[in-house]
Amino acid sequence: MRVLDACKKAVKYAEQLGVDECEAFASYYKVTNIEIEKMHIKSAYTRSIGGIGVRVVKDRKVGFSYTNTVRMRNIKKAVEDALSIANTRKPDERWKNLPSPERYPVVRKLYDKGVKSLESDRLVEMALEMIDTAKDVNKKVASMSGSVVAGYSVKAIVNSQGIECIDRGTVIGGGLYVISRDGGDVGVGYDFDVKRTLREFDHIEPSKSASEISMKHLGKRKIEGGKMTIVLHPFAVADLLSNIFAPEIQGDRAYKKQTPYADRIGEKVASGKLTIIDDGTYSGGYASAKFDAEGVPTKRTVIISRGRLMNFIYNSYWANVVGKESTGNAVRKTALGNDYSVEPTVGISNLIVKPSKYSLDEMISDIKNGLYCITLLGSHTANPETGTFSVVAYVAFKIENGEIAYPVKQAMIAGKLPELLLKNVDVVGSEVRMVYNVITPHISFRNVTVSC
């Protein structure tokens, strides 16, 4: 049974049972994964996963259930279970209604038949080419791990308000974590690429980059702590934004006063050099789609414009609570392939930092005493209610007199992200990377406390 048909039948059956509203979300994923370990292919496998989740509303009481098959008897059971759960709950006085149909945007580069038709043999070849590339550019490579992954997905949503939508997508990605050794000294490097189309995907350059970084990471020195300028690689910027900033701009958290940005729309909350946008319509974006996890059209929402907080992001429920329109930011947060098993919440689509005109070399050239951080560890432990964080600059290099001088032993960076974005932004770079659903250039911050 096709996913759209399964959704239609679920909604029809729920209406026969007398629910006030019903929503059915179905998804199907097919993923081929080639795993690299210790400079060899460890495994190659293809898996398919899918199912359907059903949300019903009866007298403002909401219930949800799901099944990992689309057989009619299982769909009926999921609907019945959702209704049973709804009947045990208290009415949600804030509930208004499920979203109604709207026109969907045209979003480019979501699906590529070249990715969908890729055979595992070709992906294995790519993995072997990645291994060979890493070894060719660095004779001190001791080990490496990584993967090449290609996936195809279909998603459909039907609800009792009239929404009927279906979309398909592809993604291909690959990356390497490389370890170099020189005697007892160990250096590490990581890089990857992820794209929605085969033509744009590059598995060679990240392999070369990861190997070169690991070689340059040999010979680490301990540095003196203190205040200095730090330049964050897009990997590091994305790490902080996805773990700290993204939750802080959710409309539900703003309503509950669980973000430092609550009640601050229109205020200056960041440097005038920063413009940050959430855009589910971004061409070829990792999280781009025609509609969100409730069937609402995706949108381009300016979050911060030249330092001023302009908007929060909402799904339909929280938009209704605060009297606004949904920004198309309903997401189903779970592991790849199991999104049908959870109810929609609020989350970013593609978070985009608007680039400036300065290259990395230009950003570094004016720094006398600084740190160039490629990867961070620990940002997932940050507190999004306050923005407080403490991270390890895991792969980082000392900047002296406008040049990258040498790798440093693990240094710590701590602070509050809202203050960092408001008071410490120095330069926004020009070279943009798509780090999954965060698209950002390098950013430098002045007067940041580094401890060693």
The CATH number for 69's domain is 3.30.2290.10
Looking at the structure of the chain, the number of domains it has is: 2
Q: What are phi and psi of 39, to 5 degrees?
A: 70, 20
Q: Which of 216, 240, 274 is the last residue of a domain?
A: 216
Q: What are phi and psi of 68, to 5 degrees?
A: -95, 20
**Token digits for 48?**
């398919």
Same domain, 187 and 99: yes
Same domain, 353 and 248: yes
Interatomic CA distance for residues 92 and 80, integer angstroms: 20
Q: Which of 160, 184, 216 is the last residue of a domain?
A: 216
Interatomic CA distance for residues 366 and 301, integer angstroms: 34
Q: Which amino acid is at 204?
A: I
Specify the pTM: 0.96
Q: Which of 153, 185, 216 is the last residue of a domain?
A: 216
Per-residue tens of pLDDT for the chain, all 452 residues: 589 999 999 999 999 999 999 999 999 999 999 999 999 999 999 999 999 999 999 999 999 999 999 999 999 999 999 999 999 999 999 999 999 999 999 999 999 999 999 999 999 999 999 999 999 999 999 999 999 999 999 999 999 999 999 999 999 999 999 999 999 999 999 999 999 999 999 999 999 999 999 999 999 999 999 999 999 999 999 999 999 999 999 999 999 999 999 999 999 999 999 999 999 999 999 999 999 999 999 999 999 999 999 999 999 999 999 999 999 999 998 876 799 999 999 999 999 999 999 999 999 999 999 999 999 999 999 998 999 999 999 999 999 999 999 999 989 999 999 999 999 999 999 999 999 999 999 999 999 999 98
Same domain, 260 and 190: no
Q: Which residue has the tokens 């949300």?
A: 55
CA atoms within 13 A on the CB side of 16: 9
Residue 15 lies in a domain: yes
Same domain, 358 and 404: yes
Question: Residue 363 belongs to what domain range?
Answer: 226-451
**Token digits for 102?**
């709207």
**Range list of H helices, 56-108:** 72-88
Same domain, 276 and 399: yes
- Relative to beta strand 351-353, strand 438-440 is parallel
Interatomic CA distance for residues 416 and 270, integer angstroms: 12
Residue 399 lies in a domain: yes
